[in-house]
Amino acid sequence: MIVYAEQIRGYGPAAPVPVLQWEPEFGALLALYRERSPRRVLEVGTYHGGTLYHWLTNARDGTTVVSLDRYSEGIDNRGMYRGWCPDGVSVVALEGDSHDETVAAQVAAYGPFDWVWIDAGHYYPEVKRDWELYGSMCAPGGIVCFHDILPASVEHPEIEVERLWRELQASGYRTEEIIADPAVSWGGIGIVHV
Ligand SMILES: C[S@@+](CC[C@H](N)C(=O)[O-])C[C@H]1O[C@@H](n2cnc3c(N)ncnc32)[C@H](O)[C@@H]1O
């Protein structure tokens, strides 16, 4: 099991629950989110709900945000999610293993999505499977974002997202990176234009 050393600390931007993001990176991504104003949003990997909070509070009227998590880390803030929805915004909180095809079918019922955020399992086979299952639910013109594209570090050897990230870049997708500090042991956001 991965131990989330940050689980008692929030980073930013400010939210009522911890946000496991570097504030400058996630702030830049949120600016893009507001600009694109997606109507169908998918988050794979919610944990405390810090990033979900920002998808919801920055969404425009008519948006549906689907959150998927297996809730296996002893944190479950699902009771708070509805209270974060502005008028006209709805949230669907699904529980299950993202690699379970029955769960993926439940998610697909709300797609296609124009904004997909993948931040669940960080080992290469885990994130690769999430990309295969949920990247394919992204509508043409939409984007898929990955957290933790920085190379694995001594502190976080379990973060292997970079390997998939390099593969996606090499395969010809238009991509963007948001990296506040390449020297830190985790972080970095990668955006794939589908
Ligand atoms: C890094 S945390 C998400 C952090 C959150 N996005 C944030 O930035 O505040 C990853 C979450 O994904 C969940 N997770 C990991 N693998 C999963 C899987 N295969 N299916 C569903 N949830 C998973 C973990 O239990 C954890 O709650």
pLDDT, position 5? 40
Q: What ligand 1 atom has the least distance to the C-alpha of 75?
A: 27
Pocket lining: 98 vs ligand 1, CB cutoff 6 Å: yes
pLDDT, position 145? 98
CATH of domain 23-71+79-171: 3.40.50.150
Ligand 1 mean position, distance from CA 43 (Å): 9
The pTM is what? 0.94
Pocket lining: 188 vs ligand 1, CB cutoff 6 Å: no
Ligand 1 mean position, distance from CA 194 (Å): 23
> Would you kindly state where each structural domain of the chain is located, as residue ranges?
23-71+79-171
pLDDT, position 3? 36
Mean pLDDT per block of 10 residues along the chain (194 residues) reads 40 89 94 98 98 98 98 97 98 98 98 98 98 98 97 91 98 96 93 98
pLDDT, position 1? 31
Backbone φ, ψ for residue 104 (5° rounding): -60, -35
